Amino acid sequence: MATDPDPGTPAAPRARERSTRQFEAVRDELARGDDFRSAQDIHASLGARGTAVGLATVYRALQTLADSGAADSLRSPAGQAVYRVCGQVHHHHLVCRSCGRTVEVQGLAVERWAEKTAGANGFSDVEHTVELTGTCTPCRTTSS
Binding site for a copy of itself (CB under 8 A): 74-77, 79, 81, 94, 96-97, 103, 105, 107, 109-110, 112-114, 117-118, 121-137, 140
Select from 27, 44, 45, 55 the one that contacts DNA (CB under 7 A).
55
Say which residues have a Cβ less than 8 Å from residue 133's Cβ, sequence separation at least 6: 94, 95, 96, 97
Q: Are 100 and 47 in contact (CB under 8 A)?
A: no
Interacting span for DNA (CB under 7 A) from 50-58, 95-103, 107-115, 118-126: 50-58
Cβ atoms of 26 and 61 closer than 8 Å: yes
Compute the half-sphere exposure of residue 124: CA atoms within 13 Å on the CB side of its CA. 0
The residue range among 14-22, 100-108, 121-129, 135-143 that interacts with DNA, by the rule CB under 7 A, is: 14-22
Q: Give me the residues that bind DNA (CB under 7 A), please.
A: 16-23, 38-40, 52-57, 59-61, 63, 79-81
